[in-house]
Amino acid sequence: MSILEVDSKERMTLPKRIRESLNIRRRVLLINAGDHLKIIPLPSDPLRVLHGALKIKKPFRKLRRQAEQTAQKEVEKEEGNPNAAA
């Protein structure tokens, strides 16, 4: 446990041992949890962390085309277009 002080510019500095133990580099997510704060370390390169997380075989263009077609069908259904697919 550490007690931190707020400086004249209203900043707090996390002690080095805490930053190192949580592997904090440059960015953190700070959450106001009511009576306390939550500090969550963020990766320096979030895309690198996510690399390989999604196993999608279809090319992006095909996925986009499918999404556009689905959206168009939804709009037509909402507008009562008789040509809309059910």
Mean of the per-residue pLDDT values of the chain: 84
Domain ranges across the chain: 16-47, 54-79
In our burial notation (b when 16+ CB lie closer than 10 A, e otherwise), range 43-79 reads eeeeeeeeeeeeeeeeeeeeeeeeeeeeeeeeeeeee
Given a cut of 90, whether residue 10 has pLDDT beyond it is: yes
pLDDT tens track for 40-77: 888 877 767 666 667 778 888 888 899 999 999 988 88
Cβ atoms of 23 and 41 closer than 8 Å: yes
